[in-house]
Structure 1
């Protein structure tokens, strides 16, 4: 199969021929229909400090994907050949203390698709049965493949009831924009979004965000003052930190009202 991989510890990727994966017990081979580009993949391509500390070449990258089930390993019962599926990107072990006590999200032994195991920038990808989600054929591949980051936004935005809330979203990348849409659907009354990019702020406006603030053009103090003015001096009910930037995290805590909620 064709695959795009990090083959050497340096910037760039290599298009190569790799062996087709074969499923073991509980595993499924999926033929990729679409796979999207995450910021993580850009880090790996550039070979920055994070990538150098985390990626061990050779590694086929990519983790946001959808496709058709091509082959089943022994014992697989939840999907069949031909099913249209998307996948979670984090594989938990199921046997550590955290997994056995309802805390699989902090599994000690988790592996990430395209980072610890070969990923979706290929004709085929090998996945555990338990991470697959059947998907409606009504959802085109270019949308179905971004269900993974959408799921992150849904989980963050619905950490509490947003009905009637004023919500701050710091970071208007894909996950932040997803979170804005989810928050609105969940009943948020007012949504404020911050970013350092005019382009991303423009996308937030297109989504119907009520107020946008450019954190690259204004000081943290100016941003905080603007948020207080918007909220009548109260601060926001909920802050969703979607950028991973330390400055944005500080901004979220400065902006939330007493008794409010910050979701990371």
Structure 2
């Protein structure tokens, strides 16, 4: 089969032939139809310090995908040949305390599809049947391909109640855009999103935020004044990984406010912890999706009319992967999808 491979340590990926995957007793083989490009894939492509520490080449990359099950192992139940599935890319051990308690998203032994084992930028991918989310209702293939990052957005947006609340989102990348769409759908009152990219702020306006703020030109305090707010934001969702964004968020939170933090900083940075204490703020780290409660929420949100199509801005054939990766790296885009059907 054809696959996009990190052939050896160093920058670049190669579209090449590799052996077809083989299903174990508890696995399924999926014919990949669509894949999404993630920031993790960009790290592996450029072979930065993080990739050099975490990835062993050769490796088939990619973890956001949707496809059709073409083979099921002898021990598989609940997933059948012909099912359309998306893949949960976090592979857990099943035996640690959290896994045995049903808190699989907290497994300390989590391995990543397309990071620690061969992934989904390929014509076929194998994964545990327990990690295959079967779509029981009609779903757009492009949307199905981005269920992994959509899950990050849902996990972040619904970590705290948002009905009637004023919400601040820092970072208008693809996950930030989906987070805003979920918060709007879930009943938030005012939603403010910040970034320094006017292109992404325009996309945010399309998904229904009340204010999209370029923080290189104005402040979050200005946004509060424009919306008639006087006591700060009730819920914060930090998705940028930028120190200044987290500090600004803390400074603009209401007393008793709650912050869900998905953005992963590149290095340690100082925070005004006295404000955290005196305002009695809650800060919750978010990693991936709650397995599989978040997945149920995702499907229900789509059934209830949540529209993610404005977030998907570019589609490429998988043979155009270099152009697709370059587009993703430029940042003037939302989500980018690769087509593997032909």
| TM-score class, shorter | over 0.9
Q: What are the superposed Cα offsets for residues 189-216 of structure 1, whole Å, 9 maximum, x if unpaired?
A: 110000121111111111121111112x
- 8 Å Cα contact 1:192/1:210 also seen in 2: yes
- 1:122-133 to 2 correspondences below 5 Å: 122-133=122-133
Q: What are the superposed Cα offsets for residues 119-164 of structure 1, whole Å, 9 maximum, x if unpaired?
A: 1000000111111111156322112101111111111111122111
- 8 Å Cα contact 2:27/2:128 also seen in 1: yes
- 8 Å Cα contact 2:213/2:220 also seen in 1: no
**Aligned counterpart, 1:248:** 245
User: Of 213, 216, 223, which residue of structure 1 is paired with 2:219?
Assistant: 223
CA distance in 1, matches of 2:228, 2:98: 40
**Aligned counterpart, 2:268:** none
Q: What TM-score, normalized to structure 2?
A: 0.73
**Aligned counterpart, 1:175:** 175
Q: How many residues align?
A: 260
C-alpha displacement at 1:8, in angstroms?
1.4
Residue 50 of structure 2 is aligned to residue 50 of structure 1: yes
C-alpha displacement at 1:254, in angstroms?
1.8
Moved more, 223-232 or 103-112: 223-232
**Aligned counterpart, 1:202:** 202
CA distance in 1, matches of 2:137, 2:181: 22
CA distance in 2, matches of 1:237, 1:246: 20
| 4+ runs deviating over 3 angstroms | none
CA distance in 2, matches of 1:103, 1:142: 29
CA distance in 1, matches of 2:79, 2:228: 48
CA distance in 2, matches of 1:255, 1:130: 41
CA distance in 2, matches of 1:240, 1:254: 14
Moved more, 130-139 or 43-52: 130-139
For the aligned residues, what is the CA RMSD?
Answer: 1.4
CA distance in 1, matches of 2:258, 2:78: 37
- Aligned to 2:219, the other structure's residue is in SS state helix
C-alpha displacement at 1:83, in angstroms?
0.6
- 1:5-16 to 2 correspondences below 5 Å: 5-16=5-16
- 8 Å Cα contact 1:224/1:254 also seen in 2: no
Instruction: Could you tell me which runs of 5 or more consecutive residues in structure 2 were left unpaired when the two chains were aligned.
Output: 262-342
Q: What TM-score, normalized to structure 1?
A: 0.94
Moved more, 153-162 or 121-130: 153-162
**Aligned counterpart, 2:114:** 114
- 8 Å Cα contact 1:11/1:46 also seen in 2: yes
- 1:12-161 to 2 correspondences below 5 Å: 12-136=12-136, 138-161=138-161
- 8 Å Cα contact 1:227/1:255 also seen in 2: no
**Aligned counterpart, 1:263:** 260
